[in-house]
Structure 1
Amino acid sequence: MNKLELFYGLLIGFAGTLVGSFLFITLLTDYTFIAGIEIMNSQGSLGKLITLGSIPNLIIFAALLKYNKDLIARGVVLALIILTLITVFL
């Protein structure tokens, strides 16, 4: 059961980053989501977009700790570590 909760946290972490990136592009730029990703990729700023998109994971992490869902919170941290490695090597 522990591995399943860790996997749920991993999925929640990736989903939080995706939602954060979507909100950043649609609310703060004049581009659509797909066009914004293409433009950021062509400018070499895709890593910055992933970093800004990870900000909602802080709120998710704090909420999970408040409700004593420690293993799911570990999965969110694992997702952030994986996204950090992807950002470094992009």
Structure 2
Amino acid sequence: MIKKEVFIGFFVGLVANAIGVYLAAMFLGTHDDFILALKNASAEGFLGKLVSLGAILNLAAFFIFLKKKQDYRARGVLLATVVIAISTFLFKFM
């Protein structure tokens, strides 16, 4: 039961980050095409910053779960944020 709650939180964290990346790319990008905006961000070297901006929505999901007393789901969102941070770090330096 606890693993299921953590997994739900992890999934919500990944989805929130994906939505945040999409919104950040659309607001900060100069193109209407999401894939083209990601390619340009990668070519110009600020894809990691774009992913980090997308993680702001994880903050909202984390505090919503805490407010609802769903601590294990909040733990899953935190885990997703850590995984995204580590993958961004590895992507930048590899």
Residue segments in structure 2 that go unaligned for 5+ positions in a row: none
Report what 2:90 is aligned to: 89
Residue segments in structure 1 that go unaligned for 5+ positions in a row: none
TM-score normalised over the length of structure 2: 0.91
Q: Which runs of 4+ in 1 moved over 4 A?
A: none
2:72 paired with 1:71: yes
Q: How much has 1:25 moved relative to structure 2?
A: 1.2
- Count of residue pairs the alignment pairs up: 90
User: Amino acid of the residue matched to residue 34 of structure 1?
Assistant: I
User: Amino acid of the residue matched to residue 72 of structure 1?
Assistant: R
2:14 paired with 1:14: yes
Identity of aligned residues (%): 36
Report what 1:47 is aligned to: 48
- The answer to which of 13-22 and 39-48 deviates more is 39-48
